[in-house]
Amino acid sequence: MLLFSCKSEQEKMENRMRKFISIFETKIIPLYREQAITSWNANISGTDADLGLSEKASFEYSKVFTDTDAFKELRELKESGAVKDPLLLRQLDLLYDAYLGNQVDTSLISLRLKMETEINKKYLNFRAKVKGKELSDNQIEDILRNSTNSEELQAAWEGHKMIGPVVAEDIIELVKHRNLIANKLGFSNFHEMSLKLSGQDPAEVTAILDELDNLTRDNFIQLKGDIDAYYAKRYRVKVTDLSPWHYQNRYFQEAPEIYPVDFDKYYEKQDPVKLAATFYDGIGLNVDAILAKSDLYEKPGKNQHAFCTDIDRAGDVRTLDNILPDSYWMNTILHELGHGVYSYYNDMTLPFTLRDAAHTFTTEAIANMFGKLAKDPEWMLNMGIIDQNEKEKIADDCSKTLRLEMLVFSRWVQVMYRFEKSMYENPGQDLNKLWWDMVEKYQLISKPEGRNMPDWATKIHVALYPCYYHNYLLGELLASQLYIYITTNITKNLSFTGEKAVGAYLKEKVFMPGARYYWNDMIEKATGEKLNAKYYARQFVQ
Ligand SMILES: [Zn+2]
């Protein structure tokens, strides 16, 4: 009897879930396509008319998730615990989170958007004043990168930091408001909510970053010594007199060019699109259909950056680029097509909701893994871009450069992650101190004596792209884990060229599963281990 009633409860709830999905898909599929295609058009033409259509379509799309009756149904299904079929359960979890994030009073959401818009305006209108001259962020970066005059560097750095006091109070108010929204939805703060609603457990992410901190600390201390020696010489100052403005960018988020290799000269006479197409075809992931729909070169009014978009989760995948024959665009086209093959080789028999990446950082991992090949001498040799002689000449500097870049970047992301987490846990604390505590601990850069300014507020991501930064680093960790798995188990060819088995493996273990598994389960099934920092450390530290 008991068995019978359990069974029938499960059947009843699973049927309700099937019905929900069928109504949901009828609504969402055309709206999803509409927002994707109008956004694509707007990014190409840049006209007000196209931007208007795109804004309208994305509003209509997100409106679906504010439906309170639909959420009520999802909550009942979730709380019943009776939906057990793995595919149905996974869709239930994803849809529940997608709706939950939108179940707040619309007045609270509009207030949040208004506060964000106001803060954004202040960032946009701010110009650093240096010796009576107004300078843009790019001009500040240009001085920090190229000047060797300590006084000029300090003036530029301090000038830029004057945006801090302009926005700091507003950001604290916004942080409290975001926390209020999170509390109303049952989360202890906005950081926890952001991670959980994107399918990440904050404790799990923190544990991975702790592991990475442990694995990189000693090596970073040593490399930081090399970096400081390099800078002391460059600026003709004592190592102990090095200050935050001596690190060639506003946040020491990029590494200095201690071992310069001129990659651009190798690509001057190359066609990055042709190289990328040949490479992907060689590993069994032909990209002709993606390239045929893409918009690859510069045009007036067009978005000047690059992205990849899945228009319908049914094979219409495109990338927007502004390709030139240089190493930056070689990296970019390999990167964007990495996103492209992830989407294009998805399993079309999966339900719509699951025809997506396991997480945004898992598709970033694939894109990064392939993008890096643009500066990999082995790849450049196998693709006919350089010869054996040239390869031997640059190989050592290439790997040292990559190692430095990755380590510097990983320490910087630690600052962002720890700062944001702690800020949302207690926005009333001394944030100026918290910021410098993190910078000193993870980046080994000392606070200028006596400084007490809201320097944390100068990083626009803290205000406007909250609680996302760590995903860039998780993407790198996974890129390393996959790369080492593939080069250990699938092929000994370190640059993948011509290895069809690489494409077959990625298709089967990463692309086809889509979002059907929790990201860490997908990673475990693909590599035999959950996401961890060991392989990143093996690739870039030891
Ligand atoms: Zn990307």
Dump pLDDT digits (tens) for 135-173: 988 899 999 999 999 999 999 999 999 999 999 999 999
Q: What is the pLDDT along the chain (542 residues), one digit of tens a residue?
A: 555 666 799 999 999 999 999 999 999 999 999 999 999 999 999 899 999 999 999 999 999 999 999 999 999 999 999 999 999 999 999 999 999 999 999 899 889 999 999 999 999 889 999 999 999 888 999 999 999 999 999 999 999 999 999 999 999 999 999 999 999 999 999 999 999 999 999 999 999 999 999 999 999 999 999 999 999 999 999 999 999 999 999 999 989 888 989 999 999 999 999 999 999 999 999 999 999 999 999 988 888 889 999 999 999 999 999 999 999 999 999 999 999 999 999 999 999 999 999 999 999 999 999 999 999 999 999 999 999 999 999 999 999 999 999 999 999 999 999 999 999 999 999 999 999 999 999 999 999 999 999 999 999 999 999 999 999 999 999 999 999 999 999 999 999 999 999 999 999 999 999 999 999 999 999 999 999 999 999 999 87
Rounded to an integer, what distance in angstroms lies between the CA atom of residue 425 and that of residue 28?
Answer: 35
Sign of CA dihedral 430, 432, 435, 439: negative
How many other C-beta atoms lie within 10 A of the C-beta of residue 479?
26
CA distances, 347 to each of 89, 357, 519 (Å): 18, 11, 16
For residue 307, the CA-to-ligand 1 centroid distance in Å is 7
For residue 336, the CA-to-ligand 1 centroid distance in Å is 6
441: exposed, middle or buried (Cβ count in 10 Å: 0-12, 13-18, 19+)? middle
For residue 16, the CA-to-ligand 1 centroid distance in Å is 37
For residue 316, the CA-to-ligand 1 centroid distance in Å is 18
Kind of pairing between the strands at 307-310 and 317-320: antiparallel
For residue 111, the CA-to-ligand 1 centroid distance in Å is 30
96: exposed, middle or buried (Cβ count in 10 Å: 0-12, 13-18, 19+)? middle
Which pLDDT score is estimated for 421? Answer: 98
Residue whose structure tokens are 């929790």: 518
For residue 329, the CA-to-ligand 1 centroid distance in Å is 13
Tokens found for residue 206: 């923190």
For residue 452, the CA-to-ligand 1 centroid distance in Å is 36
455 three-class SS: helix
For residue 337, the CA-to-ligand 1 centroid distance in Å is 9
For residue 151, the CA-to-ligand 1 centroid distance in Å is 37
For residue 364, the CA-to-ligand 1 centroid distance in Å is 5
For residue 281, the CA-to-ligand 1 centroid distance in Å is 20
For residue 413, the CA-to-ligand 1 centroid distance in Å is 17
* Nearest in space to 245 (alpha carbons), one of 120, 93, 97, 143: 143
Which pLDDT score is estimated for 2? Answer: 55
How many other C-beta atoms lie within 10 A of the C-beta of residue 5?
9
Average confidence score pLDDT of the chain = 95
For residue 339, the CA-to-ligand 1 centroid distance in Å is 7
Residue range 492-513, pLDDT digits in tens: 999 999 999 999 999 999 999 9
Are 40 and 312 spatial neighbours (Cβ–Cβ below 8 Å)? no
CA 447 to chain centre: 28
For residue 340, the CA-to-ligand 1 centroid distance in Å is 10
For residue 320, the CA-to-ligand 1 centroid distance in Å is 12
Rounded to an integer, what distance in angstroms lies between the CA atom of residue 485 and that of residue 252?
Answer: 31
For residue 486, the CA-to-ligand 1 centroid distance in Å is 21
Residue range 504-540, pLDDT digits in tens: 999 999 999 999 999 999 999 999 999 999 999 999 9
For residue 441, the CA-to-ligand 1 centroid distance in Å is 29
For residue 41, the CA-to-ligand 1 centroid distance in Å is 20
Tokens found for residue 37: 């295609």
Which pLDDT score is estimated for 6? Answer: 65
For residue 163, the CA-to-ligand 1 centroid distance in Å is 28
For residue 365, the CA-to-ligand 1 centroid distance in Å is 8
Which pLDDT score is estimated for 3? Answer: 57
